[in-house]
Amino acid sequence: MMNFCRSVFFVLLLLMAYSCKKPDKPAPYKPRFVVEGWIEKDDYPYVIVTHNLPFFTAIDSAQLAEVVIRYAKVTVSDGTETEVLTGMTDKRYFPYFLYRGTSLKGVTGGNYKLTVTYAGNTLEAETSIPKVTPLDSIWFVPRPKNNVQLNVRFKDAAADKNYYRMYTKLEKAKVFTPTLLSNQNDQYFNGQELQLQVNRGQDNNLTSKHDPYFMKGDTVMVKFSGIPQSGFEFWSSLQDEVLNGSNPLVGSTKALKTNIKGPGVGIWCGYASTIYRVIAQ
């Protein structure tokens, strides 16, 4: 038995030594550009260019100030007109600096090509503006504690492939916030009338403050946009990551979609939006 035990012991020792050899490779950080661009029907294009950050546990204001790319050449072309966008400060959108056009405006059915060049890198993306779908009706349903819940109804066009995105804000707020489940694909309700109970979304994923309802008497702005497929895929994957990344039962895809070609991620998206102003009651 002793011999046997000794053999066992040596085999064990050998295997353990073998198994301990590999050091964990540090996870590589790949620097990338991040593009968030939009062109609304009847409005100029807007583009924010930043870069990603290595995974530190805390980000301070110096790092946040440093993510913005200020000296990129950003052009948007609709096939006939090409405009170089101008970098400017805009207090509505973090990091408070964006590129904006002053001549070219979005039209229904238009195709728009975005090109960003910076320090020898070129990023490209294309998008289009789909048809406008109006909301047929907006109303509020009472909820406890003087709250009301937004409800909307619209009719999907059977002949078109449609994707939708919805936002709300209080009239006094600077920017629209996407609703909690903000993206819709007409694959599942093509040609039908769709009635939605709408919950407000969180401002962003940095806060746990979440109030799904409006108060009676609020002046509510509702924005309803038609978006192209690439936009739907991006915003759905973002929603999936934000909502489900912490849910072990559901799990997220762990990779946001993008339509940016080149060393970058993000979204360049056309919107066919209608904005409604309603009083919550």
Q: Tell me: does residue 2 bind other proteins (CB under 8 A).
A: no
**Please, which of residues 165-194 interact with other proteins by CB under 8 A?**
178, 180-181, 185, 187-190, 192-194
Q: Tell me: does residue 135 bind other proteins (CB under 8 A).
A: no
Which one among 2, 21, 23, 56 touches other proteins, defined by CB under 8 A?
56
- Which residue in 232, 228, 278 sits closest to 257, CA to CA? 232
Neighbouring CB atoms inside 10 A of 278's CB total: 19
Q: Which helix (H) or strand (E) holds 7?
A: helix 2-19
- Binding segment for other proteins (CB under 8 A), chosen from 73-81, 103-111, 116-124, 243-251, is 243-251
**Nearest distance from C-beta of residue 116 to other proteins, angstroms:** 15
Residue 52 or 115: the one with the smaller Cβ distance to other proteins is 52
Q: Which residue has the tokens 């909820």?
A: 143
**Please, which of residues 15-34 interact with other proteins by CB under 8 A?**
15-16, 19, 24-25, 27-30, 32, 34
Q: Tell me: does residue 61 bind other proteins (CB under 8 A).
A: yes
Residues in binding contact with other proteins, number by CB under 8 A: 85
DSSP 230-268: HHHHHHHHHHHHHHHTT-TTT---SS-----BSSEEEEE
Residue 280 main-chain phi, psi, to 5 deg: -70, 125
| Distance, CA of 8 to CA of 152 (rounded, Å) | 72
Residue 83 or 203: the one with the smaller Cβ distance to other proteins is 203
- Binding segment for other proteins (CB under 8 A), chosen from 52-60, 81-89, 125-133, 272-280, is 52-60
Tokens found for residue 262 = 């080149």
Tokens found for residue 23 = 């050091």
